[in-house]
Each structure stands twice: as structure tokens, then as C-alpha cells.
Structure 1
Amino acid sequence: MFRAIQTLQGTARRSISCSAVRRGNNVPDKQKLFQEDNGMPIHLKGGSADALLYRGTMLLTVLGAGYVVYELVKAAYPQKK
């Protein structure tokens, strides 16, 4: 039990005294990437992840619009009892 408390104290002391690893400022690099005139739309300049997110969003939008139209048609022509 005492050893566990000592380990916990040592871990807490180290985490407070050590500073976090700082990485360089990558904002200027991103600005260069997104301001470059290469004919690509801005929403696709981030790479394949952006393209995947864009296509997924468009797919969900089209499916959602289709479902809304389906429900409206279904509501406009109620079933006969």
C-alpha cells in the first residue's frame, strides 16, 4: 500500500514539473496550403479525409431529402381503411 502511494506521488510530481511537448506553429503552413491557387475547391484541399467527409455529407443530404419527399408523399395519400 505504501509503495502504491509513493508511486502515485512520484507520478503526480513528474507530471506537474514536466512541461508538455510543444510543437511548432503549423498555421502558416496550413495558410499556404489553403491559399494556393491550384484549381481545387477549398473544401477538398485538406486531402482524402476532406473528400471522404464531403462525399459522406452529400450522401446523407441526398438520402435525407429523398426520405423527406417519401414521407410527404405518404402523408399526402393516406392509406384507405
Structure 2
Amino acid sequence: MYRHMIALRQVARRSICSSAPRQVENKVPQKQKHFQEDNGMPVHLKGGSADALLYRMTMALTVLGAGYVVYELVKASFPQKKD
């Protein structure tokens, strides 16, 4: 059992250490430039159509949730009459 644990540890170490490093381009400067430019758009909409869709869905859910809370409060404030 102990021999299997040592072999597993060596295999895990070998696969992590021997992997070739990937060269990934740093996209942060381009994103900073894009989001910091002054074009009159709010920063939460500068990401494109996906950000606009997410913003509209969030606002719709907020309005619907607030309306439902008001409905439940009004319903709770007028108890039903028992016949």
C-alpha cells in the first residue's frame, strides 16, 4: 500500500513539473484601454451586447421582484374574511 502511494506521488509530481509552459498573451492593458476611454458610455455597458443583455435582465428581475414584494405586502395587510 505504501509503495503505491509513493508511485502515485512520483507520477503526479512528474506530470506537473514536466509540462511545457504555455505562453499566454497578457490582455489586461488592452482591456484597461478599452474600459477607460471616454466615449460617453457607462462602464457597465462597455463590454458589448452581452453586458447590455445582462444589465437588462438584472433590471427586469429587480423590478419584477420589487413588484412581487409589494403585492405580497398588500395581500398580507388585508386578511381574508371568513364566511
Find out whether 1:75 has 2:76 as its counterpart: yes
RMSD: 1.8
Instruction: Report Cα offsets for 1:49-72 as digits up to 9, x if no partner.
Output: 111110010010000000000000
Find out whether 1:40 has 2:41 as its counterpart: yes
State the partner residue of 1:62: 63
Instruction: Report Cα offsets for 1:18-72 as digits up to 9, x if no partner.
Output: 2342311111001000001111111000111111110010010000000000000
Distance 1:19 1:38 in 2: 42
Amino acid at match of 2:26: N
State the partner residue of 1:6: none
What SS does the corresponding residue of 2:59 show, helix, strand or coil?
helix
Distance 2:79 2:22 in 1: 64
State the partner residue of 2:52: 51
32 and 62 in structure 1: CA distance in 2 versus 1, 3 angstrom threshold: same
- TM-score, structure 1 as length reference: 0.77
Gaps of 5+ in 1: 1-8
Distance 1:48 1:64 in 2: 24
